[in-house]
Structure 1
Amino acid sequence: MIPFEREEPRTPFGDKPRSQQAGMLCKDATFQKFVAWRMELPDVTRVTPEECREHILFQCGVESRKWLDWQNRKASHCNRRAADLWDELRTEYDAWRGKIAAPR
């Protein structure tokens, strides 16, 4: 019998730090389309990862995605309001792509 390596369990997306979620979504084609839609760019089907990053920073009022990591209370740069704004943006994205019902 050949031994096999067990894969480490993956951390669910929602349990990852917000900064990591944002970084991953910036590279996602569907999220890029969502950002283009949100920016009301009718002639653009999707934006670049860098434009996604800039949109997130602007919408959350921060200079770096690491500021989204409110749960990391040891970090002096964390920002609860930015974390809340990121959560709202994620909820809007999930509703836009049909994963959840539209928020009220």
Structure 2
Amino acid sequence: MAAHTHNAPADGAESQLWYARAALADPLSHDDETLREAANIVAQHGTKEEAKAAKRFDGHASKRRFDDMPPAQQAGMLCNDEQFQRFANLQERQTNTSASTGFAAEFIRTKCGIRSRKQLNENQDAAARFAALRTDFDVWRGKIQTPR
């Protein structure tokens, strides 16, 4: 049986879209500029689902920018992440409560011992608790292995 290969279209927008999809499928193999261009191409010419995903593309370049943001901004972004909302619900055993931005924000404030996410930028202990919480989330979603 012959191996199945995915051949790129010969030319034009179809070809650009094919290469853009390939780049986004393997973000660690591409530089930031290539990933931004690929996301723009997919947003313009891909399916509705692809366009939506490309707009929120969390590839290699976005990850570095996220890590460079102040903890309060990271917390705000996580609160809007549906996967983090589910994580917060499961951690608090709130299976009968729907995931929400507000619940995720309260979860972060409680776990970090703060009244406002702004305090994550001002309080080193709270920032350390937030970093540990992010690690727990990354383990839960399979982004990193369980620390030993």
| TM-score normalised by structure 2 residue count | 0.55
Structure 2's unaligned 5+ residue stretches are 1-32, 37-60
Q: For residue 73 of structure 1, what is the aligned residue in structure 2?
A: none
Instruction: State how 1:13-92 maps to structure 2 within 5 Å.
Output: 13-44=66-97, 46-69=98-121, 78-92=122-136
Distance in 2, Cα, partners of 1:97 & 1:58: 21
- SS at 1:101 equivalent: coil
Identity over aligned residues, as a percent? 40
8 Å contact from structure 1 (residues 33, 47) kept in 2: yes
Structure 1's unaligned 5+ residue stretches are 1-5, 70-77
Say which structure is richer in helix. Answer: 2
8 Å contact from structure 1 (residues 22, 65) kept in 2: yes
Deviation at 1:54, TM superposition (A): 0.7
8 Å contact from structure 1 (residues 95, 102) kept in 2: yes
Deviation at 1:47, TM superposition (A): 1.7
The residue identity in structure 1 corresponding to 2:125 is: R
8 Å contact from structure 1 (residues 92, 103) kept in 2: no
Distance in 2, Cα, partners of 1:63 & 1:89: 16
| TM-score normalised by structure 1 residue count | 0.77
Report 1 or 2 for greater relative contact order, CA contacts < 8 Å, sequence distance ≥ 6. Answer: 1
Deviation at 1:12, TM superposition (A): 1.4
RMSD over aligned Cα, in angstroms?
1.9
User: What is the number of residues matched between the two proteins?
Assistant: 89
Structure 1 moving runs of 4+ over 6 Å: none
Distance in 1, Cα, partners of 2:105 & 2:99: 10
Distance in 2, Cα, partners of 1:93 & 1:57: 15
Distance in 1, Cα, partners of 2:110 & 2:74: 16
Structure having the higher Rg: 2
The residue identity in structure 2 corresponding to 1:89 is: L
